[in-house]
Structure 1
Amino acid sequence: MRPKIILFGDSITEESFGKGGWGAALAHHFSRKVDLVLRGYSGYNTRWALHVMEKVFPAESEGGGGGGGGAPLAITVFFGANDACLPDRYGAFQHVPLLEYKQNLHSIVSFIKKRWPTTLVLLITPPPIDEDGRIQHPFVENPSGLPERTNETAGTYAKVCIEVAGECGVPVVDLWSKMQQFPGWQKDHLRDGLHLTPTGNRIVFDEVVEKFRKEDLRLETLPADLPLLAEMDPSDPLKSFKD
């Protein structure tokens, strides 16, 4: 009955339906109007994402659209944090070279647009990296004592993500730049140097909603799927359900 928005990405997307998450905030924002469908895959890079596109977004005859038929209103594509792992550190198995990352993003956007030409694709750059936070919170044993990601490298991948958005003609959230506009972003917005705090999640939510608005995907213009209480006649409520 309702249209849908799909969130496609890595762990920052997978965690987005948690307490204070940007995905949960979007679901609340669009309640009664749009279903938010979560397709986040912790640890994934764009290379792996390309390998699972057919399963994540099956054809319409197979119940496509990430949870029901019909083209999604929008799909957020939020990859790059894992691609940007350094090739000589403990996260090397997740690393994707910059040129391949660019090609992969192009392919992901192309796949979605070919399947659903009317669907809005919104790219989101990887966030900035707090290298001290990564040293303090490695996800496996880290005998070198060095961060597996750097903020400089993340910025390079963010720049390429923005380039792809321009080349594909789709909007983009420059999260890497946006977060660094705030003093103390390293600890205020990132809980472990990479993943988001509630404050960091709020920035993603605000930026996504603003980009949607600019593309005319806004709460005010979306119809409710069923009559609202305020629209019902107290003397004859069932009248609201008649065709």
Structure 2
Amino acid sequence: MRPAIVLFGDSITQQSFQPGGWGAALADAYSRQDSSKPPVAATIFFGANDAALSGRTSEHQHVPVDEYKENLKKIVHHLKKSSPTMLIVLITPPPVDEEGRNEYARSLHGKSARELPERTNEVTGTYAQQCVQLANELGVRTIDVWSKMQETEGWQKKFLSDGLHLTPEGNAVVYQEVVRVFSEAWLHAEEMPYDFPHHSEIDGSNPKKAFEQRCL
């Protein structure tokens, strides 16, 4: 079985395989590509849940920022130990639209929903900073989604569906950044060979020849 590109993360990564998601787009971009030879890559995309505030409605998800950073470090070390040549990309949590989170809470619980946000953009930014800092310390690549999205005016509603999870436009930002980092490293989809020859290369009178040449 040949290696694959692995995406580690929370519900934001899980939802990335829905229509319009960055994971689905990435799978499509690298479909039929031969990654049995280096490179092989992994993205690590955590922090959105860890940054939930202690004492608020989502405190069961809270992980102190120092522990969050240490957990990322352990994941990176484990992957490097498993495959020293693996391309590892840390992705920061996205920014938080606090009003969007409040609107989402009210949609679930009505006016009784607590007005205090269970996440803030400022605190999430601290987690993002630690993620970037760790990547520099460990010599791995990083994507600062928290900063990148906030470069666009109206990012709150453009990129976030409920103040936290990504819209199709938000997914597109992550996809473009992942592809950029992959390409800057050594994982450019267009330059990778296909698993099998294209149908235009196959001679109907001797189809075996094209497959034999591909295996050379």
TM over 0.5: yes
Q: Does 1:189 align with 2:179?
A: no
Change beyond 3 A, Cα 1:223–1:3: farther
- Structure 1 position 206, deviation (Å): 0.1
**1:135 matched to which residue of 2?**
102
Q: CA RMSD in A?
A: 2.1
2:85 counterpart SS class: coil
How big is each residue's C-alpha offset from its partner over 1:147-186, in whole Å with a ceiling of 9 and x where there is no partner? Answer: 1000001111000000010011000000000000111110
Note if contact 2:39-2:187 (Cα within 8 Å) is conserved in structure 1: no
Extract unaligned runs of 5+ from structure 2.
none
CA distance in 1, matches of 2:200, 2:5: 26
CA distance in 2, matches of 1:90, 1:184: 26
1:240 counterpart SS class: helix
Moved >6 Å (runs of 4+): 69-72
Q: Does 1:168 align with 2:135?
A: no
Higher relative contact order (CA 8 A, sep 6+): 2
AA of the residue aligned to 2:68: Y
Q: Does 1:28 align with 2:37?
A: no
How big is each residue's C-alpha offset from its partner over 1:193-221, in whole Å with a ceiling of 9 and x where there is no partner? Answer: 00000000000000000000111111133
**2:172 matched to which residue of 1?**
202
Q: Does 1:80 align with 2:50?
A: no
Greater Rg over alpha carbons, structure: 2
**1:38 matched to which residue of 2?**
none
**1:216 matched to which residue of 2?**
186
Extract unaligned runs of 5+ from structure 1.
36-68
Change beyond 3 A, Cα 1:71–1:146: farther
CA distance in 2, matches of 1:17, 1:84: 23
Tell me the TM-score normalized by structure 1. 0.81
Amino-acid identity (%):
54
Structure 1 or 2: more helix by fraction: 2
- Listed as ranges, the matches of 1:64-143 within 5 Å are 73-138=40-105, 141=109, 143=113
Residue correspondences, number:
210
